[in-house]
Amino acid sequence: MTDNLKRSADASVDLASTKKRKALDELSEDGPLTQEDVTYFQKEAIWRQMNSYKRQCNILSRDLRSFKHKYEANESKLNILDIWYEQIINLLSQSPREKPSSVNESLLIKITHHSDKDKLEDILNKRRTCLLNILSPILEKSKASFPESKELIETFETLNSDLCRLKAENETILKLKSGLEDNLEELKERLSDLTKVKDRNQSKTLGRVDASLVKREEESETSDSIASDSNSGKASNSNAKGGSDTDNIENKEEPVDNSADKELIETLTIKLRELEASNATLQQQITELGKKHQKSSEDCLELASRLSSLSSKDLNLSPIYQSILNKNKILSEQVEDLVKVQSISVAKLSQLENARGSLKNSIDETLSFENDNLKQTLSKVESDLVRIRTSRDELIAKNSILKSESENKSLITELEKLVSVQKEKIDSLTNERVGNNEFKEEEVEKLKSLTSDELIKRITMLSGEIKEIESVFQSTHEIAVKKLHNEVENDNLIKKLTIEKTKADQKYFAAMRSKDAISSENKVLKSQIAKSQELVSKLNDLEKTYLTKISILQKSEIDFKTIKENSLQENSKLQEQIKSIQASRERFENETKSLKKTLEGKVSQLGALDVERNDALQKLAKVEAKVKELESLIKKYRSNKTSSILQEDERQLEALRSIAKCSLCSKNWKDTAITVCGHVFCSDCAQERLAARLRRCPSCNKGFSANDLLSIHL
């Protein structure tokens, strides 16, 4: 609200500073009041109201800031003190203490708040009791142990009492302060009223209106004096003066001959009509009340006779009660028959269950004997199998070691052969080189005969060939070495794979042997199982026959149980119905008594309501008679007045209506102002325009929003 007021005030100041006032925003000085004067008056009223709102807002915001600051400071202090006291209580209550025999209530101040109890008072009372329980034994011990400190304790108690007294005085001072604050608020309200009066006195429009009213009163007095002088010129003078009194004709009284006598006669006739109407309504009400009283007394007697005549005979004669009794007898007979059948079926079922138990015991004994024999044979076979597996693993390990040794020997022999072959190759190559050297000695002479260029060419050719031969030899040697390494690696892989193959073969053969043993055992077990299955099939057939018999008996037992339960339920229902009927009988008797009491209360209430209704009808008749009489008087006065006065009255009423009523709907009062332009309408029209998104003033076509609306009272 304060933001809207500030915004409206700033907007009005900006508009006043930026734009010059138009002709229709100025007050006329002479002549009757015009529509522009009315709009100016409305704007000035809005401005005064906005200034008062602004003053109130500033005062409230200042008080709110101060109270908020004080509240925050007090809250922080109270929270810190609360935490301190809680810590002190927790620290002192941790040590085991004996409960004091007598608590010294004068140590701490009692709560002097006399309003309704709330959570804060409960918390403070608990804290006070805890502190008293902690402090009183300490002080008792100190008094007993230190007699010298008695004076200090006494002074402490006196100071505590003084503190309580000062607290009481502080409370009285606070009450006086609150009273003075209330007086201050009243003075502030009076100051605001005086400022409003001052604003109204300084207003140009109000001075203009008051001046026009004074002129009109003077003119009306002159017209009255002229009318009393001559009866012939009365109509013409009233017509001539009526044009100047278009805006405020309600302040003037028309002169009427013998007006006091006529008023007395009219009031007496109105009262007489009211009394006649009220008398007629009272007579009608008396007759209606007599008829209603007779009917209600007759109905009351009939109800009392019916309710009081209810007895056991009436209940026995009722068909519902008789049918319930018959059903109860039939169901009791059915329950007895079902109990007999149930006892027979229970005996048969017990015999069948005993036979079934003996059969089961014999079958269990045979199966347990065969199972023990099979377990013994299986344990023997498993021990033999473990022994065979251990011997097999030992032989496999020895075989693998021997194979690896034989393979290593063969590899060594192959390597020796390869080394011998390489030695032979080296010898052959050395021999060839020696032969080549001898051949070269023979051809030395030929080489000497050659020139140096030819020798250089041959040397370069020979060196190139030697390099090529060396590179070829190195590559072949590397290839041979790589092949040798590959062969060695392949041999190692083959050895590993062969070892793994032997292991896998051993596992396979062991698995096959175990499979053969298991298959043989399975054959034995299958033969035994076939025999046992034959026994089981025979036993199953017997069991099926017994089960069919048992199922038939169980079904019959379930049927008997359901029949019994249904009969018991129906019996219980019938008993409950009998109890409910008896309870309802008692309840009806009690209800009759309560109904009699309520009937008496209702009769008294009805009488009071009838009295109120009669009073209301009487008042309504008086008002209707008064309205009729007033309408007749108005018609008479209207027939006596001239047409010019009526037209002036209508114009004046229209002018006043245009000031007070909304110009859009012409139904509601003006109570909402647009702060942007100052035009006033009703709140319904303003909200309808906002809802329809027509956010422009209908008078000046200025844009506005929901925040620009201000509620006023003209």
Res 205 pLDDT > 50? yes
Contact at 8 Å (CB) between 673 and 42?
A: yes
Dihedral sign, CA of 248, 251, 255, 258?
A: positive
pLDDT tens track for 573-605: 777 777 777 776 777 777 777 777 777 777 777
Region 137-150: what's the mean pLDDT?
A: 61
The pLDDT score that the predictor gives to residue 180 is 67
Q: How many CA atoms lie within 13 A of 541 on its CB side?
A: 5
Res 685 pLDDT > 60? yes
Nearest to 511 by CA among 423, 405, 389: 389
Residue 249 or 261, more confident: 261
Cα gap 237→249, rounded to integer Å: 16
Region 483-509: what's the mean pLDDT?
A: 77
Region 642-663: what's the mean pLDDT?
A: 72
Res 243 pLDDT > 60? no
Catalogue the long-range contacts made by 418-422 (C-beta closer than 8 Å, 24 or more residues apart): 418/484
Res 57 pLDDT > 80? yes
The pLDDT score that the predictor gives to residue 330 is 79
For 703, residues 6+ apart whose C-beta sits below 8 A from its C-beta are: 676, 695, 696, 697
User: What is residue 315's three-state secondary structure?
Assistant: helix
For 24, residues 6+ apart whose C-beta sits below 8 A from its C-beta are: 36, 39, 40
At 382, list the tokens: 């498993």
Cα gap 370→378, rounded to integer Å: 12
The pLDDT score that the predictor gives to residue 262 is 62
Least confident of 61-65, 656-660, 707-711: 656-660
For 698, residues 6+ apart whose C-beta sits below 8 A from its C-beta are: 663, 664, 679, 681, 689
Q: Read off φ and ψ for residue 32, nearest 5 degrees.
A: -70, 165
Cα gap 160→165, rounded to integer Å: 9
Q: What angle do CA 232, 236, 239 make, to 5 degrees?
A: 145
Share of the chain above pLDDT 90, in %: 0
Nearest to 407 by CA among 523, 534, 283, 494: 494
Res 633 pLDDT > 80? no
Q: Which residues pair with 710 in a beta bridge?
A: 673
Contact at 8 Å (CB) between 14 and 678?
A: no
Nearest to 599 by CA among 574, 607, 49, 527: 607
User: pLDDT class for 109, splitting at 50, 70, 90?
Assistant: low
Res 663 pLDDT > 80? yes
Res 536 pLDDT > 50? yes
Dihedral sign, CA of 51, 56, 62, 65?
A: negative
For 7, residues 6+ apart whose C-beta sits below 8 A from its C-beta are: 675, 707, 708
Q: What is the pTM of this model?
A: 0.24
User: pLDDT class for 178, splitting at 50, 70, 90?
Assistant: low
Mean pLDDT, the chain, whole residue set: 70
Q: Which helix (H) or strand (E) holds 711?
A: strand 709-711
Region 492-507: what's the mean pLDDT?
A: 77
Cα gap 118→191, rounded to integer Å: 39
The pLDDT score that the predictor gives to residue 15 is 42
pLDDT tens track for 339-396: 777 777 777 777 777 777 777 788 778 777 877 787 787 777 777 777 777 777 777 7
User: pLDDT class for 91, splitting at 50, 70, 90?
Assistant: low
User: pLDDT class for 168, splitting at 50, 70, 90?
Assistant: low
Least confident of 66-80, 294-308, 428-442: 428-442
What is the amino acid identity at position 614? N
User: pLDDT class for 623, splitting at 50, 70, 90?
Assistant: confident
Nearest to 646 by CA among 657, 637, 633: 637
For 388, residues 6+ apart whose C-beta sits below 8 A from its C-beta are: 513
The pLDDT score that the predictor gives to residue 435 is 55
Strands 680-681 and 709-711: unpaired
The pLDDT score that the predictor gives to residue 10 is 47
The pLDDT score that the predictor gives to residue 589 is 72
Q: Which helix (H) or strand (E) holds 672?
A: strand 672-674
Could you write out the DSSP letters of every residue in 468-496? HHHHHHHHHHHHHHHHHHHHHHHHHHHHH
**End-to-end Cα, the chain, rounded Å:** 20
The pLDDT score that the predictor gives to residue 171 is 66
User: pLDDT class for 5, splitting at 50, 70, 90?
Assistant: very low
Q: Which range scores top for mean pLDDT: 22-31, 220-229, 255-264, 661-670?
A: 661-670
Cα gap 131→103, rounded to integer Å: 10
Cα gap 549→234, rounded to integer Å: 130
How far does Cα 80 stand from its chain's mean position?
A: 34
Q: Which helix (H) or strand (E) holds 709?
A: strand 709-711
pLDDT tens track for 416-473: 677 677 677 767 766 766 555 554 555 666 666 767 777 788 778 878 887 787 787 7
User: What is residue 703's three-state secondary structure?
Assistant: strand
Cα gap 157→108, rounded to integer Å: 9
What is the amino acid identity at position 365? E
Region 279-308: what's the mean pLDDT?
A: 67
The pLDDT score that the predictor gives to residue 252 is 37
Residue 375: CB atoms within 10 A of its CB come to: 9
Cα gap 493→595, rounded to integer Å: 115
- CA distances to 48, 51, 68 from 55, rounded to whole Å, are 11, 6, 20
Res 316 pLDDT > 70? no
Share of the chain above pLDDT 70, in %: 60
The pLDDT score that the predictor gives to residue 443 is 64
- Three-state secondary structure along 32-58? CCCHHHHHHHHHHHHHHHHHHHHHHHH
The pLDDT score that the predictor gives to residue 694 is 85
Contact at 8 Å (CB) between 699 and 679?
A: yes
The pLDDT score that the predictor gives to residue 1 is 41
pLDDT tens track for 254-288: 333 445 556 666 666 676 666 667 667 766 767 77
Contact at 8 Å (CB) between 450 and 459?
A: no
Q: Which range scores top for mean pLDDT: 62-71, 256-265, 294-303, 462-471?
A: 62-71
